[in-house]
Structure formats: structure tokens, C-alpha cells
Structure 1
Amino acid sequence: MSTLTDLGMTGAAVLVQAAATDMWQVARSGFTRLLGRGDPHRETATVRRLDALAAEVEQAPPAQRDQVRQRLLPAWQMRLSDLIEEDPARTDALRDLRDELLTRLPTPQQQWIQNITATASGATAQGVMFGSIINHPAPPGTDPIGPVPDPGPSR
């Protein structure tokens, strides 16, 4: 995953986590400026989308708000990834906004969930959020996947 993709993902995660919290107005204002890019029409459209996001989270019963946030997350990831792909100069502004909100969100809102599944035979799934993956090769003379089945006699 590229650094810009990671930034789009984490920026969107902070945004949806801020919905229906005391930090919403700060998040709404910051993302309106960021996504609006100084264009009044874009800012109006952004406010409309942000208000819809907040309303959807707020209208959900408290026990279901995390599920609603997870459902809304991919669209915001796409918007933010597109933003920094189209206008790389916005990268630092997104990073700063994400970091500011992350430090201000209540502790329970700073929890992230990532589900990774590998279903193919011998497949490996890896993932990381806010850090690095370090892969260590298997020690010499070992098979990291396990014993290879004997295919039987060939014909």
C-alpha cells in the first residue's frame, strides 16, 4: 500500500470516527476547507456530504454506530485518495488535519479494525495500520508453509 493510499485511508477513518462526537464541528470545518479547495461550489457540496455522514451516524442507535461508520468509510477513503492523487499539494494539509483530529478524539474513537482474509491454499494475508510490516524469511532448511504433499505416482 502506498503512503498516499494509507493517508487517504487513515484520513477517512478519522473523519468517520469524528462523526457524532464532540470533535465533529472541527472535523467538518477542516474537511470542508480541504475538500472544497477554496471553491464555493465544492465547499457547498462537501458540507452537504459531511452533514449527510454525520446525520447517518447520529441517527443510528449508539450500539450500531461503529457498523454505520464502517459502511461509510470506503466512500470517504475514495474521496480523499482521489483528492491527493489529483492535487498532491493537499497531502500535507490532509496529514495535518488527520493528526490533529486523531489526538483530539476520545480514546474509544481511536480504535481501528482491519480485517484481512486469505482463502487460497498456501495464501498469506498481511496488513498493517499506522506502522510497518517486517517479514522474516524462514530459517534455512524449513518450509514456511509446511510439508508439501506427495502427489503420488506420475502417469
Structure 2
Amino acid sequence: MDTDWLVQLATSGATTLVGAAATDAWQQARLGFARLLGRGDAGRQELVTARLDRLASAVEQADAAERDLVRQQLLPAWQARLADLLEEDPAAAATLSGLRDELQSQLPAVQRQWVQHITASAAGATAQGVMFGNIINQPAPPAADRPRPRR
């Protein structure tokens, strides 16, 4: 099964979540992600809510100039949590997608710019993107410059 779309959805969901921290959209994000990740289990939802509160606290306590850096540092853990959720329950993708879209429309313009969407839809197409880092593509050397395999 091709799971690239699950990774992409987990990434866009996580960037929306951490982007919502310390904004007017936070309470809705907190409630929606607690329900989603709690999966109907009150104890699990309480644990997720505590994690979400730590996320918001970390962003809120950072100087305004440092908030994007804090978000960047917190992002991988939330990407992993959402990827695990989608791997275990692919049906949760519809809920995550809807929550992501709803929250993005409420984010301040500067936070919407922080959320990245990359799509490649043609057969054999490749889409690349990075936030807060670099992508370095090394083209293959021309055939004449490639070493020949030894026999």
C-alpha cells in the first residue's frame, strides 16, 4: 500500500497544529486534536490534552521572534503522532483533513504561510519541499562520467 499520502497528511496536520499554538485558533485546535488523537478513550484524550497544553505553553513562553523556531522543534513529535494514528487507523484521515482545513482558514496570515502544501499528481512525478532547512539535489553524472561496474 502506498502510504506517501498518509505521511503528507500527517505533516500538514502537524504543521497546522503547531502553527495554531499561541493564536486565536488554539482552543479549537486543542479540542479537535484531543478528540482525534484520543480516539474516544477519555484517558487517552486527557493525556493528549496535557501534551497539547505543553505544546502551547512552549510556544507562548518563547519570545515572539523565537516562536517559529520553537514550532520547528516541536513539529517532528506531532508528525510522528499523527503518522502513527493514520497508520493504525487510515479512516481517521478524513477527520484530520477536515480539522486541518478548518483550522487553516482561522490562522492569522503569517501562520498560514508557515503551513506548507506540496502536491505531485502526474505519474512518476516527484514533489519536494522543506521548511526551515535545505533540499540539495545532486543530478546523476552524465553516462560517460560514470564508473563502469567491474566484472
Q: TM-score, normalised by structure 2?
A: 0.78
- Which amino acid letter does the alignment assign opposite residue 131 of structure 1? T
- Quote the offset at 1:130 in angstroms: 2.8
Which of 119, 122, 128 is equivalent to 1:131?
119
Cα distance in 2 between the residues matched to 1:87 and 1:147? 45
Instruction: Report which structure shows greater RCO (CA 8 Å, sep ≥6).
Output: 2
- Quote the offset at 1:89 in angstroms: 1.6
Cα distance in 2 between the residues matched to 1:102 and 1:26? 11
Report the equivalent of 2:41. Answer: 39
Identity %: 52
What does 1:55-66 correspond to in 2, within 5 Å?
A: 55-66=57-68
What does 1:1-155 correspond to in 2, within 5 Å?
A: 2-112=4-114, 129-132=117-120, 145=141, 149=145
SS in structure 2 at match of 1:58: helix
The answer to which of 99-108 and 4-13 deviates more is 99-108
Cα distance in 1 between the residues matched to 2:89 and 2:145? 52
Query: How well do the aligned residues superpose, as a CA RMSD in angstroms?
Result: 2.5
The number of residue pairs the alignment matches comes to 131
Cα distance in 2 between the residues matched to 1:86 and 1:133? 25
- Quote the offset at 1:88 in angstroms: 1.4
- Quote the offset at 1:57 in angstroms: 0.3
Cα distance in 2 between the residues matched to 1:98 and 1:44? 21
Cα distance in 2 between the residues matched to 1:150 and 1:46? 52
SS in structure 1 at match of 2:119: coil
Report the equivalent of 1:121. Answer: none
Q: Structure 2, unaligned stretches of length 5 or more?
A: 127-138
Runs of 4+ residues over 2 Å off in structure 1:
133-136, 143-151
Q: TM-score, normalised by structure 1?
A: 0.76
Give the number of the structure whose alpha-carbon radius of gyration is greater. 1
Cα distance in 1 between the residues matched to 2:73 and 2:111? 16
SS in structure 1 at match of 2:120: coil
- Quote the offset at 1:87 in angstroms: 1.1
Q: Structure 1, unaligned stretches of length 5 or more?
A: 115-128, 137-142
